[in-house]
């Protein structure tokens, strides 16, 4: 595994942990899950269903821009910009499990 992939996976795991904590708040849960769904849809469009962790890590490099744009267009709740990074990491963390070279 490349260092870029290893580093990205650490970020996704940490972000997912923070996401799981944040969704415990009933006022934030629905909004955060909607953001994760938007980011996941964008990942499906960009990578499809057959991809490697290296390809996913590469998509992560530009995700801040396209994830923010997608969420702002399709799931813009109050304070969405403060939580989109959590949703982004949680989506990447979950999507990584579908990589052809995924290992826990």
In tens, the pLDDT along 5-54 reads 999 999 999 999 999 999 999 888 999 999 999 999 999 999 999 999 99
In whole angstroms, give the CA distance from residue 97 to residue 48: 13
Reference 46, options 60, 29, 32; nearest CA is: 60
The pLDDT > 70 percentage for the chain reads 100
Length of the chain: 104
Q: How far is C-alpha 20 from the geometric centre of its chain's CA atoms? A: 13
**What are the residue ranges spanned by the domains of the chain?**
3-96
């Amino acid at each position: 595994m490349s260092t870029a992939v290893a580093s990205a996976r650490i970020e996704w795991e940490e972000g997912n942990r923070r996401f799981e904590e944040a969704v415990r708040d009933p006022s934030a849960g629905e909004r955060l899950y909607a953001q994760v769904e938007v980011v996941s849809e964008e990942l499906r469009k960009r990578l499809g269903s057959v991809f490697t962790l290296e390809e996913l890590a590469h998509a992560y490099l530009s995700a801040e821009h396209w994830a923010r744009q997608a969420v702002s267009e399709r799931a813009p709740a109050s304070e969405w910009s403060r939580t989109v990074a959590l949703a982004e990491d949680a989506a990447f963390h979950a999507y990584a499990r579908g990589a052809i070279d995924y290992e826990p």
